[in-house]
Structure 1
Amino acid sequence: MVEPKYKQFMKVNRNLDFVHLKFAEDYVKANIGPTMTFNLLKEVMGGYDAVGCTMRTKKELCDGFYYAYELDADDKLTRLFWSDAVSRRNYHMFGDVVSFDTTYSTNRYCMIFTPFTACMGAHPRLIITDQDPAMKPAIENVLRGTRHRWYLLEPEEFEESWNSVMERYGLEEEGWFKTMYGHRQFWVPAYFRDLPMGCLLKTTSISESENSFFKRFSRPHFNLVEFMLQYGNALDAQRIQTTRLDYIDSTNVPSPLTELPFEMHAATIYTDSIFKKVHVEIVEASKNCMMTHMSVETNIRVYKVTDRGHRTWTVTNNAEDDLYECQCKLYQRCGILCRHIFFVFKNNDVQLIPEIYIGKRWLKKPLLISVHSSSTSTFQDQTDSVYDDKHNATNKLHTSYYRLVQRVEGSIADINAVIAAIEDVENQLFGDGSYVMSVLEKKKRFEELYGVVRPDIIHAHPPNVVKCKGSGSRLPSKMEAAKKAAAKPPRRCEKCHKMVNHNSRNCGKEKSKK
């Protein structure tokens, strides 16, 4: 059986009814593509339910929503932070490694947008940033106990390779190289091999990818309310993709390529994308690894395993505690077991992956464990459960209207009958006469969109609008237009055959204007 939240991804439910087809046909005629059509359809037929909620309203609806802001001396907004319940829960589930990058473009207020998973009471083990000098002391003061890392390079033996390069090219006294060597603990992988999941993110490219994603939903001229509405749409788009992947995990059963029992065990616990990586390691262990030496010291077994690349790695096994460790440290760096340990599993007839090596991060959703060992029940999003029935009823009304239009559009008699029926219902509900929206009703519509009634006293004012280079435009004066026209090189007119500043369409018209 498929959970209700996954039914939308089933093939039987992925079809277009006549209401959707009518939408698509109308928008194609208006030269609106399928992506924009889908977004409009979501909003009209039952899209993002959270639109129309301010931060204060969301906090009232959901205890897991958090926001904070700072004002300057003129009570104008300078900083704003917010996080909904799902984002906070995701941090507690996966927030052991965090990427932070502020290269996202600024808005009309020259405020930098930084998509960042906040700590919420638990510091990450590792944070990756660019080489911003201000980040280093800030992280040391605020995130105590968190390892700070820059974008990474991957030399095998750093010290030996570094000294060799410096001597070969005579760079020992170059300032930039001396500075980078002095900060080597921030970017050389060898200094993070002992940190669990320390090589999970090698650059801030994840943050840069997120910046590119959010740019599809925002524009530089957006005010804060418009930006927050689109930010919510962006999160919803990400989360529906996550739900789709969860559906794939719950329904797909990979085909085994080996007869090793722990292969199918891995298929039942890991997500589909991670299992593909684990699968590669298991297949390599089964077909391309071999043991060259094995020794026993008390309860410690030491294996020498050679892989496809003809490199030999040392795998140790504590028989008493059933612990395994490989010299390549793939499990410590990325959280998945390597082919060398899987080969030892095969040699020792291990049936299931030991629980200690299953980890917390890469599991299917029902098996997930919080990396911060904190209950996530606090961060449940109750917004949908308390959202009133008005929105659903409105969506049903839209659906009924478009379905009715689709069914009667082939007959003028049916169309007129529907028009008469609608007008009759309107008269019964609101009385006779034409409808003109009053100023108060227009104000109310805006308040419903923003989700709050305008207060009598405003405590937090919007920041000053900053005009950047190239922003805005004005009409040129007649003198400027004349200078610009005079600066254009003359060209041959096809009518008078002279080298002039007019063409055949307006030839002779300039004299008549004078």
Structure 2
Amino acid sequence: MWVYKAVVKPIVGQQFVSLDGAVVFYKQYAGTVGFDYRQHSIRKDRDGVVVEKHVVCNRQGFKQRVSRVAKTTLARRQRVTNMVRCKAKVVIKRKSNGLYVVHYFKERHTHSMCSIIARQFLKVNRSLDAGHQMFIASCVRANIGSVRSYRLFKEIVGEYSSVVATGVDFKNFKRDLMAYILNGDAQLFIDTLFKRRELCEAFDFEYDVDEGDQLSRVFWADAVSRKNFALFGDVVSFDATYRTNRYKLVFVPFTGIDNHKRSITFGAGLLTREDVDSYVWLLEKFKKTMCHDPICVVTDQDPALKVAVALVFGTSKHRFCMWHIMCKVGEKVGLILSKDEVFRRKLNGIVWNKSLDSKSFEEAWSCIMEEYGLGDNDSMALEKHAMDVYTISVFYDIQVEICAACYSCQVVSLCDCDGHMSYGIKDGAQRAWYVVSRWTKGACLKPIFHIDDTIVDQSSKVENVRIFTNLLWSDIYACVSLANGNIERLAQLRRVICEQRQLFLQEGSEDGSGVVAGGSKQSVINSFCGDVSQGSTVEVRDPIQAKNKGSGKRLKSKREKAASKCVKQSRKCHTCDEYGHNSRTCPLNG
């Protein structure tokens, strides 16, 4: 809530150490009285030192009239003027000893002052300090817009009057922040990847540019991803997703399944084109980073991916995604049969049963085809190797396996291999199975591991500015919650923070992060962008907007083909019965 302060007005002869100090004093006076100010004119000596400065009321001057000719030729929006020839101002002059003194002060205004309730919205009483700016920058990282960040800040401080800024101020700062990194997104992204590799040797990435030095493709994988691939990289699945960034680049994540049957990421890439060359480049970088081919690769039915997988992963088995295949069952067998619960149950019992061998699968498949008269249906698109695809079943499959093992399995051997216990188990069919370390609960919990003869210690934290900032905010919220509404505790906490704030303001120095203690806009932007400064050399230019989706290379289903035919026709003109325009823009009405 805005608090009314006692009026301390300038006095002729009042001295200040600096010119900025004099202007700040008049600014505080204007905010307390209830008017806005603006810096009017200055006079400098031969050395460029300001010797005289005029600071006037914001309503000084008058609106210039526009001639009738200009009004007819130039369309301008009518605006309400706030200039009423106000004479209130202060004149500050520099003395021979270097001090600045109030030479002239006009107190009387020709207009009424702003009310006490509305004074909080004056420009002189609104400011975005370092706290506001860092909060907006954090919201930008979380993809939170200006309006929502303004409302969120209001919930933190209690009410809108306590924000000491408006929603427009939040929008303007975000605009300046985005304008600062304009045409430097790609360079900022690549520089961030270089910094991550400096912090961790196991972090690996590659990028490529086109003829115009525009970013065309990127691949990266951190230490945890490479560790996960070493443990669970037998089966790798990757697919392209769209509309995840402003440049419409194709995001290609490499995913797998861990020992808890949860999806994990092995790496990721960004592509501007979905052609064979781009996919070959991406898969080669993935293979180079992981040092070996996966046993099985699961993709959708993209022809470019099929060619790229065969070229790069020659020893891997390539399988199509069962989910994509089963989505087409309805259009293949017809509408009536696709809704038959008995048929779906029998079909799923064959397709999703990974315990069937090839001969058993063929026999069961032939039976269901013959039972429902589907033997002559050549359009049935289900692949024979669908039984080998790994699926995501969290609980029920494990429950079945445990129950079956209790009655039909037995432990036949036990050995210690490199610190891991291996159990030899036989089931009723006399087949041997081994429980390796990748299926244990502690497989993902080790903080120290080896990658390419490099020891990666995940338990050690990198002491950088962002980590300390996050920890500080966590401690602040924890202290506020521990106060639990106790007015004495809250007052004590606020007193400590205010004392530290005043100490930082008095020091006026820079810390290691480059953020000025006073909290200028430029310092906050620099902390947000890192070491990338405006006007610096940009070696990697922003990519062009990709046009991949709908390229026609992917195999389309009948449903997609039918939907593409039902395109909305253009508007019909009721005057000439032609398409492409309406009656208002019809040539016949010209």
TM-score range, shorter chain: 0.3 to 0.5
User: Comparing both structures, which one devotes a greater share of its residues to helix?
Assistant: 1
Q: Which has the higher contact order (CA 8 A, sep 6+)?
A: 1
For normalisation by structure 2, the TM-score amounts to: 0.38
User: Comparing both structures, which one devotes a greater share of its residues to strand?
Assistant: 2
For normalisation by structure 1, the TM-score amounts to: 0.43
